[in-house]
Amino acid sequence: MSSLSPDIIAEHGLTPEEYSRIEHALGRAPNLLELGIFSVMWSEHCSYKSSRRWLKTLPTTGPRVIHGPGENAGVVDLGEGLAVVFKMESHNHPSFIEPFQGAATGVGGILRDVFTMGARPVALLDALRFGAPDHPKTRHLVAGVVSGIAGYGNCIGVPTVGGEVNFHPSYNGNILVNVMCAGIAPSDRIFTSAARGAGNPVLYVGSKTGRDGIHGATMASAEFGAEAEEKRPTVQVGDPFTEKLLLEACLELMATDAILAIQDMGAAGLTSSSVEMAAKGGSGIELDLSTVPCREEGMTPYEMMLSESQERMLMVLRPGAEGTAKAIFDKWDLDAAIIGRTTDTGRMVLTFEGRTVADLPLGPLADEAPLYDRPHHPPTPAPLLAPDSVPAPQDLKGALLALIGSPDLSSRRWVWEQYDHMVGADTVLGPGGDAAIVRIHGSERALALTADVTPRYCAADPFEGGKQAVAEAWRNLTAVGATPLAITDNLNFGNPEKPAIMGQIVAAIQGLGEAARALDFPVVSGNVSLYNETEGKAILPTPAVGAVGLLSDLSARAHFALRGDGEVLMLVGETRGHLGASLFLRDIAGREEGAPPPVDLSAEKRNGNFVRSLIEAGSVRAVHDLSDGGLAVALVEMALAGRKGAHVRLEGLPCPLHAFLFGEDQARYVIACPADGADAVVEAAKAARVPLRRLGTVGGTSLVFETEGMDPVSIALPVLEAAHRGWFPKFIDG
């Protein structure tokens, strides 16, 4: 007998087939609470049912990997008894509906993922994508998201040290807010969620449970219609102050032996945390919902189990440790309650006011959740675009100024000055560089961190675009002198039920995997955000990559600023003038076409290892990786960072000048080295079979480009600076 109508089932995002599967698993019809629990556990967001088959193909192991995907975050050994714990996660749908709270709770969620594992968070990064700057909603969304991130991260005292901001009309109805957090933990004190053993107390701690965020995971697993804003009540409200207390209290309790297993309540709240802990531990769980601390009167078991109220943790304690836990949570003024215990039944049993309100087998909720091999049409990569098929700009200087002042290339200072990027006093290099550098507290070692993806490349060729995201992250870490360790991925795509979108997903994952394998750069954590579509229009495929590297000696690090007069500028890597899918092509020539630059992974590795060896040997004074906007834009960034000009003389070019200057060929860096060390660098490059070209010298107060048959182009630094800095504040002020 069932009172659940097909409408109710559909409202829970379950297909008729999935509903039959539930009935079959239970041998009866579920009640509404049970249906709700299945609906969130089987949502795309929690079950990865469309992507899991492909995610399994990614390389996830390596000599330093302590925990790969499957835990709250990935864990990688740093040596000297420490590990880095990190992950990137999306909060896309909520941030579109309510940008401040959506972004803020995105930060809160990823912080919890990291400190749940016993790590103190030390860095945040944000990869943000917005719609066209002239779309009526964009300005409001940018301002709201940035202040939401600032409001949460600044308060909790974790520096926001890097990230990305891009604009494209495909994000008009679906912005992307991908937040990455890294923390440091003792490598032998990593906490996990598997609740093994029966009869152990289950403790709830943190904010009280309210009615906010009910069905957030389901919302994140469906397309938006025109009525997206009506979903505002499903957006959670963040309280960074409580999170700070929770962070300190959890770390304090973790220093004792009280905790057997711990899981934060994120998407799908109490449901997913309790199911995951018991399922992973091969145990069972009983919760008495009458004991759950509630913010409002009269909350039903359905509301409690599906609430996504923030700043909550669930932990299984060693029996007898309740007093220790209570003393610490009292000190930090946090609500805590024993709400149940583990069992050996393999079931989740919920009681409320003395009645059993749900009794479900764990298997079908977790490991046996649906897994789909969705039909996928392999994408047709865009054709290569010959360098000379793109006409030279009439005015090279004007083109360069336009490009460095364009929405995607202008300075992001307006954004990152709102983030406390220095709290912790360990930030060695904050936002604006190739990778952020955060010192490992109390040592002379440091983490390097970056977040990268080039969605327009992924749209033109998802496989190459996936490769490129990984390669660029690797290159950014290398450019500051770090040894790349591992990555986290945040896969943002449209509706996987459409074979063309599923084709993008598959190809991008294959590209990520190929590059990760070639560069020994395993994927240790990640998140998938699908259904980023509004009224049938999907976002550009955006497989964001967050990466962490290790600087084993802080004194051997590189910065991209030009500093020393007379230093020799050189270009590492081969330039063919690849303008396909470039920013020059899109923003100056007005064309979005062509294949993205091919990624030669062996060249990446060879060139990158060469550059890192120069940094380690102290042979270079400045290093910058080349990416969006190519060589010319990189030189502007280097000049502005060091307030120092350069004279660049280009001869014997393999392609037209504008293709050389603006082409986005991969595996390239600009380096500056002392004049008396330049020959040695040339020799070293020759020995390493790394292409190297002298570009010119550092000095003066202008950036000058010279080539045969052309009057020199000279742009004064203040002119460059005004163009570069001007766009963002002007955009925000309207």
Active-site residue numbers? 45, 91
> Where in 29-136 does DSSP place strands (E)?
65-67, 74-79, 82-90, 120-130
CA distance 339 to 272: 15
Instruction: Determine the residue type at 652.
Output: G
> What separation in angstroms does the CA of 593 have from each of 241, 460, 504, 566?
47, 7, 17, 40
Shortest distance in whole angstroms from residue 569 CB to other proteins? 26
CA distance 505 to 665: 24
Q: Which of 400, 392, 451 is nearest to 579 (CA)?
A: 392
User: In this complex, which beta carbon is closest to other proteins, that of residue 155 or of residue 228?
Assistant: 155
CA distance 387 to 579: 6
Shortest distance in whole angstroms from residue 555 CB to other proteins? 9
User: In this complex, which beta carbon is closest to other proteins, that of residue 7 or of residue 333?
Assistant: 333
Shortest distance in whole angstroms from residue 40 CB to other proteins? 30
Shortest distance in whole angstroms from residue 159 CB to other proteins? 9
Over the window 615 to 654, marking each residue x when it contacts other proteins by CB under 8 A and - when it does not, the resulting string is: ----------------------------------------
Shortest distance in whole angstroms from residue 142 CB to other proteins? 12
CA distance 634 to 627: 8
Residue-wise burial string across 187-200, b where 16 or more C-beta atoms lie within 10 A, e elsewhere = beebbbbbbebeeb
Q: Which pair of tokens denotes residue 571?
A: 């270009």
- Maximum distance among all Cα pairs of the chain, rounded to whole angstroms: 89
User: In this complex, which beta carbon is closest to other proteins, that of residue 99 or of residue 284?
Assistant: 99
Among 70, 79, 81, 157, binds other proteins (CB under 8 A): 157
Q: Phi first, then psi: what are they for 592, rounded to 5°?
A: -110, 90
Return the residues of window 234-253 that contact other proteins according to CB under 8 A: 239-242, 244-245
User: In this complex, which beta carbon is closest to other proteins, that of residue 266 or of residue 424?
Assistant: 424
CA distance 43 to 220: 8
Over the window 518 to 557, marking each residue x when it contacts other proteins by CB under 8 A and - when it does not, the resulting string is: ------------------------------------x---
Shortest distance in whole angstroms from residue 239 CB to other proteins? 7
Q: Which pair of tokens denotes residue 532?
A: 């980023």
| Number of amino acids touching other proteins (CB under 8 A) | 30
User: In this complex, which beta carbon is closest to other proteins, that of residue 337 or of residue 423?
Assistant: 423
Q: Which of 650, 633, 574, 656 is nearest to 390 (CA)?
A: 656
Q: Phi first, then psi: what are they for 329, rounded to 5°?
A: -70, -30
Stretch that binds other proteins, among 25-33, 328-336, 642-650, 693-701 (CB under 8 A): 328-336
Stretch that binds other proteins, among 19-27, 133-141, 155-163, 383-391 (CB under 8 A): 155-163
- Per the listing, tokens 């509630």 go with 294
Q: Which pair of tokens denotes residue 5?
A: 């109508």
Shortest distance in whole angstroms from residue 727 CB to other proteins? 17
Stretch that binds other proteins, among 48-56, 327-335, 468-476, 569-577 (CB under 8 A): 327-335
Residue-wise burial string across 52-76, b where 16 or more C-beta atoms lie within 10 A, e elsewhere = eebbeebbbebebbbbbbebbbbbb
Partners of 358 in beta bridges: 350
Partners of 342 in beta bridges: 285
Q: Which of 217, 176, 287 is nearest to 47 (CA)?
A: 217
User: In this complex, which beta carbon is closest to other proteins, that of residue 420 or of residue 464?
Assistant: 420
CA distance 300 to 258: 31
User: In this complex, which beta carbon is closest to other proteins, that of residue 28 or of residue 441?
Assistant: 441
User: In this complex, which beta carbon is closest to other proteins, that of residue 333 or of residue 353?
Assistant: 333
What does the DSSP 8-state code read for residue 563? -
Among 7, 17, 297, 333, binds other proteins (CB under 8 A): 333
User: In this complex, which beta carbon is closest to other proteins, that of residue 1 or of residue 425?
Assistant: 425
Q: Which of 255, 309, 305 is nearest to 109 (CA)?
A: 309
Over the window 408 to 437, marking each residue x when it contacts other proteins by CB under 8 A and - when it does not, the resulting string is: --------xxxxxxxxxxx-x---------
Q: Phi first, then psi: what are they for 288, rounded to 5°?
A: -100, 105
Return the residues of window 111-150 that contact other proteins according to CB under 8 A: 147, 150
- Check residue 213 and give left, alpha or beta (phi > 0: left; psi -120 to 50: alpha): left
Shortest distance in whole angstroms from residue 420 CB to other proteins? 4
Shortest distance in whole angstroms from residue 430 CB to other proteins? 9
Contacting positions for other proteins (CB under 8 A): 147, 150-151, 154-157, 239-242, 244-245, 331-333, 416-426, 428, 439, 554
